[in-house]
Structure 1
Amino acid sequence: MGSRLTIGEFATLTHLSVRTLRRYHADGLLEPAAIDPFTNYRYYAPEQIPNAQVIHQLRRLDVPLQEIKRILATDDAGRREEVIAGHLSQLEAELARTQAAVASLRRLVHPEPAEIEVDLPTLPARTVAAVKSTVHLQDSLAWYDEAMAELDAAFPPGERTGPPGGHYANDLFTAGHGLMTVFRPVRTPRPSGRVEVMELPPVELAVTVHAGSHDDIDVTYGRLGAWVATHALAVDGPIQEVYRVGPRDTPTAADWRTEIGWPVFRLSGKSAARESSS
């Protein structure tokens, strides 16, 4: 083929159609290396193959033309990589939101299991190691990961006496920002960096277990809330979660088990109940 590639050869090597390459040229995204002044045939250089493929993938991801031009115009490879990585992060976040919405809708249409089990334990006062901060809801997952990493670093497995948990203020859900607290029961709680010693007061809870991925955990929240509205008196207090098995224990989402606790005042003497979704 030599050092110049015809548009047909270039199309074969990049798996892009001739029509697509002509459109990239017209849009100013990918200029041919040379155009014959007599025949107007387009010729491309082998070095243009990676750029053609990058453009194609960015267009498939609906990156605007002007943004692609900006990415290709920079001679700073690090800056180019940074811009592309930013777009990938946005797309991954959108994909995660889509997957979570699909999982929730599927479970709402076909509830599994048809019933949820609810226990009504009374938890005693406890002293734990904790990290807390006011957080925006969209930042909550990243904040949780950072806070748990601090707790794990401060208290290795031999010092832990139970699974980690979290308290989430109602404002986090109703206003989009609120107090988040993550904690670990440990043998000897002590401050370290952002980690502080916290006293958890005694509390009565309505508790159910969400099995599997957190994508549809909002459905379990809703069903537990419906149970509380029917069987108990909800009281002010943060929603509580305990991560019996979570992402920090296994990457297999099907094995995750998250206890969700809703602060209540009991209306009956029952210690457990079942709620039908019908």
Structure 2
Amino acid sequence: MVQTARVLTIGEFSRLTHLSVRTLRRYHEADLLEPAVVDQATGYRYYGVDQIPVAQVIHRLRELDVPLSDVQRILRTPDPGIRAALVAEHLQRLEGVLDRTRAAVVSLRRLLEPDPAPIHVELRSEPARTVAAVEAVVGSGDVEAWFAGAMAELEAAVGDAVTGPPGGTYDNALFEQERGHALVYLPATAPPRVGRVHPVTLPAAELAVTTHVGEHDGVEITYGALGTWVVQNAMSVAGPVREVYLVGPRDAREPAAWRTEIGWPVFRLT
């Protein structure tokens, strides 16, 4: 018969760790938290008091939605620095999810407002100009990561020769088909040709322009308001959408200060 003086039954261990008996059995089957002793005759599981901190770590990691495979890596890594890096990597992903959730809540509240504030729209004639650009065909889900890499490459290539705020153009297919041509640029005195960076001439265009205030995650609401204005004023979109990042994360820490100018190429129907 197994000696249980220094061990806890699975029920006792469950009460001490706030992990259900069913969860403890699942963790055992997954080789995540093995009992100190398993009675071969009865199959009963017994745990040591020194396993309580381990169980508590697992509990907290699972509360943060860390996958079981990653929990195993964290627990089995002897190097504290590597363990900390693994946890930090997941927390960073979790913070990104929280940021997106918060932005979605803000956008939803704006959409549910009974009387949304009217937007200011300006009709503007933009002349053709040559800029330093990076362009590619990308999927809508990859735009954020692609944009960050392209902008970093542009800033390194252009350096102090920048003559205005960064911008981008986005083909209609990117919105309609979830994949399309995207281009980001920096105005420069002499656009270089380095790596993916190369000179591009933006064609002259007639634009209906408004400014989106705040984080870019809620920009679709401003797009909708601008599109409504275009339709109501008997105009039609005639080309890729243009964005100019007047104030962004590199310019101001507070998202409330960020400003994105949205320009839709248009022509009058009447």
Q: Sort the TM-score into its range (normalised by shorter chain).
A: 0.7 to 0.9
Q: Which runs of 4+ in 1 moved over 3 A?
A: 4-12, 21-24, 34-37, 40-43, 48-51, 73-97
Letter in 1 for 2:54: N
1:84 CA displacement:
6.8
Q: Which of 208, 211, 220 pairs up with 2:210?
A: 208
Aligned to 2:17: 16
Matched ranges for 1:64-213 at <5 A: 68=68, 71-72=71-72, 75=76, 91-92=94-95, 94-110=97-113, 114-156=117-159, 158-213=160-215
Where 1:120 maps in the other structure, the secondary structure is strand
Tell me how many residue pairs correspond in the alignment: 255
Where 1:55 maps in the other structure, the secondary structure is helix
Where 1:142 maps in the other structure, the secondary structure is helix
Cα separation, 1, equivalents of 2:53 and 2:171: 49
Cα separation, 2, equivalents of 1:256 and 1:100: 14
TM-score by length of structure 1 reads 0.77
Where 2:33 maps in the other structure, the secondary structure is coil
Letter in 2 for 1:26: R
Q: Which has the higher contact order (CA 8 A, sep 6+)?
A: 1
Task: Please say if residues 33 and 45 of structure 1, whose CA atoms lie closer than 8 Å, have aligned partners that are also in contact.
Answer: no
Deviation per residue, 1:210-246 (Å, 9 max, x gap): 0111221110000000000111422321100000001
Cα pair distance change 1:215/1:6, threshold 3 Å: same
TM-score by length of structure 2 reads 0.79
Cα separation, 2, equivalents of 1:77 and 1:131: 43
Calculate percent identity across the aligned residue pairs.
50
Cα separation, 2, equivalents of 1:174 and 1:84: 38
Cα separation, 1, equivalents of 2:169 and 2:53: 49
RMSD of aligned alpha carbons: 3.5
Q: Which of 230, 233, 237 pairs up with 1:231?
A: 233
Structure 2 unaligned residues grouped into runs of 5+? 1-5
Cα separation, 2, equivalents of 1:224 and 1:98: 24
Aligned to 1:276: none
